[in-house]
Homo-oligomer: A and B are copies of this chain.
Amino acid sequence: MTTKHRCRKCGAPPVINMPQHRLALCAEHFPQWIVEQTERFIRKYHMFTHEDRLLAAVSGGKDSLSLWDILWQLGYTVDGLYISLGIDDGTGYSAESQAKADQFAAQRNLKLIVVDVPALYGESIPQMTQRSQRSKGKPCSVCGLVKRRIMDQIARDNGYDVLVTGHNLDDEAATLLANTLIWDADRILRQQPVLEAHHPALRRKAKPLFRFYEREMAAYALLRKIDYIYDECPYAEGTRSIFFKQLLNRLETVQPGAKLKFYLSFLQARESGLFNITAEGITDENMSIGAGGKPLYTCPSCGQPTIVPGLCAFCRLVG
């Protein structure tokens, strides 16, 4: 940190400088600021209230454990959900990340629900991937499908009102960029900090950390002494998501704040009516309408929503 920056709250030497906010903060005031800002975003984007029962999806990484920590400090009613994916090929990734989540919950006397994918479905994510047409060798698409399904199901079956995830700005901006570079209208329109439950089997989803940079969340976790898994998933290397994060980091270097501007101006453009959000094509009473205005059908096997009529992608994979 250069000497020209001082903590705006107390004048002490700062631990972080955030050029996009023209704000530097010290080791004491930065974590406080993160918590206060999170509360502000929860209200501003109408994510949830203190009356809601929240379920936080925790991976054992810095973002999800920090989110749980922040919501706990803010006094929300929030349990954790850890999904064990069976990714253990030499790295012990799943076992180690579960240990971090377990330890975090135990230290704070919080409830952690654990779903073990191999025990439940007889196969780990890498094993399911080998059978699937979904991903060309990469388990990310199968993994996303299975995790989304389990999260939706646990939230619904256990009476939670809102599912919260630890996506940070780098995650959200990279996804938006990836979808925008191919102008995938459905995915672009579905991208929001709060996704309402568009189907009876779903619960509202919220991403309270979506305005924080990844490096801010890393600093938060460090300062709060949260013991998280440092390693990325062994399958993350070389993914599109990491490539788009790198592109945005290059942009951020020459235009500080560009990443935040990209995401917030998207939300603003959406709000100002840049996009045509219609609800065309509803022909069946079994349908709901998704976030992008497209119809959602109900899977005849599991009762969860699906974007095409018939068995949903999850039932086709696991069923």
> Are A275 and B276 also in contact (CB < 8 A) when A182-B261, A247-B250, A251-B181 are?
yes
**Inter-chain contact A258/B181, CB cutoff 8 Å:** yes
Tell me the smallest distance from the CB of A77 to a CB of chain B, in Å: 36
**Inter-chain contact B272/A185, CB cutoff 8 Å:** yes
Measured between alpha carbons, how far is A258 from B185 in the docked complex, in Å?
17
Residues of chain B contacted by A278 (CB below 8 angstroms): 273
Tell whether A266 is near chain B: CB-to-CB under 8 Å.
Answer: yes
Residues of chain B contacted by A275 (CB below 8 angstroms): 274-276
The chain B residue sitting closest to A262, CB to CB, is: B181
Tell whether A265 is near chain B: CB-to-CB under 8 Å.
Answer: yes
Residues of chain B contacted by A273 (CB below 8 angstroms): 276, 278
The chain B residue sitting closest to A184, CB to CB, is: B265
Tell whether A183 is near chain B: CB-to-CB under 8 Å.
Answer: yes
> Are A274 and B183 also in contact (CB < 8 A) when A247-B247, A250-B247, A254-B243 are?
yes
Option from B183, B250, B269 in Cβ contact (under 8 Å) with A183: B269
Measured between alpha carbons, how far is A266 from B183 in the docked complex, in Å?
6
Residues of chain B contacted by A266 (CB below 8 angstroms): 183
Tell me the smallest distance from the CB of A24 to a CB of chain B, in Å: 25
Q: Mark A230-272, 1 if CB is under 8 A from B, else 0.
A: 0000000000000100010011001000100110011011001
- A contacts with B: majority SS: helix
Measured between alpha carbons, how far is A251 from B182 in the docked complex, in Å?
12
Measured between alpha carbons, how far is A276 from B274 in the docked complex, in Å?
5
Tell me the smallest distance from the CB of A106 to a CB of chain B, in Å: 43
Measured between alpha carbons, how far is A141 from B243 in the docked complex, in Å?
32
**Inter-chain contact A251/B247, CB cutoff 8 Å:** yes
Tell whether A180 is near chain B: CB-to-CB under 8 Å.
Answer: yes
The chain B residue sitting closest to A280, CB to CB, is: B273
Tell me the smallest distance from the CB of A258 to a CB of chain B, in Å: 7
Tell me the smallest distance from the CB of A278 to a CB of chain B, in Å: 8
Q: Mark A12-44, 1 if CB is under 8 A from B, else 0.
A: 000000000000000000000000000000000
Query: A261-299: which residues lie under 8 A (CB-CB) from chain B?
Result: 261-262, 265-266, 268-269, 272-276, 278
Q: 12 A-B contacts, Cβ less than 8 Å apart?
A: A181-B258, A182-B262, A183-B265, A183-B268, A184-B265, A185-B269, A247-B247, A273-B278, A274-B276, A275-B275, A275-B276, A276-B276
New contact pairs (15) apart from A181-B258, A243-B251, CB-CB < 8 Å: A181-B251, A182-B261, A182-B262, A182-B265, A183-B265, A183-B266, A184-B265, A185-B269, A243-B254, A247-B247, A247-B250, A273-B278, A274-B275, A275-B276, A276-B276
